[in-house]
Amino acid sequence: MEMLQDIANRQRSTLDVDLDDLDGFSKDPELVEHVEGNTQQYLRLLAEAADNIMPAPTDDNLPEDVFDVLLDQRRRAQEMTRAQMEVEGRGEQQDPNFALPPSLLRRYEVLVRPRSKMARRTMRDISADCIGSLCTFRGIVTQVSDVRPLLTVATYLDDQTGFEIYQEVSGKSFNPLQEAPDEVKKMNGGKSELFMQVRGSKFVKYQECKIQESPDEVPQGSTPRTLMVHLRGSLTRSLKAGGSVTLSGIFLPEPYTGQRAMLRASLLTSTYMEMLRAYIAAAKQYDPFVPEGLTDYLAAVYAEMRAEEAASDVPHSYTTARTLLSILRLSQALARLRFADAVEQSDVDEALRLLKMSKASLYDDAGVERAVDPISQIFSRIRQHAERTKRDAYSWADLLDFLGTSFKPEQIRQCLVDYASINVWQLAGADSEAPSIALAAA
């Protein structure tokens, strides 16, 4: 109720529903599975339930805005229409276009946070059987559109009676109403004309993003797949091109219209992901700090980079204070992805690796083959072997069997530790002589 009270007092604009909380609270073990399987319908039910128990504002000094003025005028018009129809001996109007749509009265949106134990799918596993359900997947943001308004409720004015007519819009395109409801036609003899009122209609912020399959999930020799993601309301501007993100949303079909329908006559619909909660948006709430214990390590790393550069006959880059700042920012970004409040040494090490790989092409001298990072090579070999054999776990003996002839044991062990620190797989027996790994569930 605290969240609803904050919404009533206009202190927040989202109603966040955590499925972990619902799973622990509900006595029906199948309720959460039903929500995950038919999320769009349950979003409507959750919004209706919130409307029914929404408390009155406790802040008496809330400023009156355009929303309040329009709502007051509409309620008065509804009362006058109801009174007029009672005088004329007709019952209350039943046409849905007459009633105020619930979405027109809301100042908030409902967002669903998936369960923490919900299995993450690869983009190739998201298919027709997932339509309408909640899916979690990861990928790389390759394209982000501008934020633009999206019409959700169209309002029309009848030129004869002055009545407002409403039309709820569920997609990006719609057919405007051409004639008034039957009840209005009876009152004006069917001669009225409807005019759309842009100021009285409801628009929400809308953005489209294209997500490409993560490189480690693309089978060898295959083309990466892409998925269109729709962001609305508070989730817009939460993604940036080039970012690696984990997203949760509803997988939905989108009918082809207009010229696209003619060009793709063999297909009726395309598909897209309607986002409820973006992982990257939640990660932005964290502001990790660098603990004092890491300062000496960072200073040593910086000094080592400067020394390597000074010893090089032909330096290809220059290490400055800005380089150190870049390492710190990358480390903080990696900590955010873990929802951590503090940067760890593993974050700094991964930031250094990324920085080194970003400069790798600079070290290609004419005719000289560039050395490849052995840790990355080991990871690539494990991933390819797992895809080929469909294995999900490896013992130390298994790893030595197909990696031992090409790499040193300490390099293999370092690869296991590095990629376990960023949750690519689970590492067991890290301090033992024979560690093993279990690949993370997709």
In the three-class reduction of DSSP (H, G, I as helix; E, B as strand; rest coil), residue 214 is classed as coil
pLDDT along the chain (442 residues), means of 10: 90 92 88 92 93 90 81 78 69 60 89 89 90 91 93 89 85 85 73 85 93 88 89 91 90 70 47 65 81 90 84 71 89 87 90 80 51 82 88 92 90 90 84 86 46
What integer pLDDT is reported at residue 369 of this predicted model?
Answer: 45
What integer pLDDT is reported at residue 261 of this predicted model?
Answer: 46
Per the CB < 8 A criterion, the answer to whether 81 and 163 are in contact is yes
pTM of the model: 0.59
What integer pLDDT is reported at residue 262 of this predicted model?
Answer: 44
What integer pLDDT is reported at residue 316 of this predicted model?
Answer: 61
Interacting residues of 154 by C-beta distance below 8 A, sequence separation 6+: 166, 167, 168, 169, 174, 176, 177, 196, 201
What integer pLDDT is reported at residue 353 of this predicted model?
Answer: 84
What integer pLDDT is reported at residue 265 of this predicted model?
Answer: 43
What integer pLDDT is reported at residue 248 of this predicted model?
Answer: 92
Domains delineated in the chain: 120-147+207-283 (2.40.50.140), 292-371 (no CATH), 372-442 (1.10.10)
Look up residue 200 and give its two tokens: 């009285």
What integer pLDDT is reported at residue 319 of this predicted model?
Answer: 80
What integer pLDDT is reported at residue 267 of this predicted model?
Answer: 43
- The DSSP bridge pattern shows strands 393-394 and 148-158 to be unpaired
Q: What does residue 151 show for φ and ψ, rounded to 5 degrees? A: -75, 125
What integer pLDDT is reported at residue 337 of this predicted model?
Answer: 81
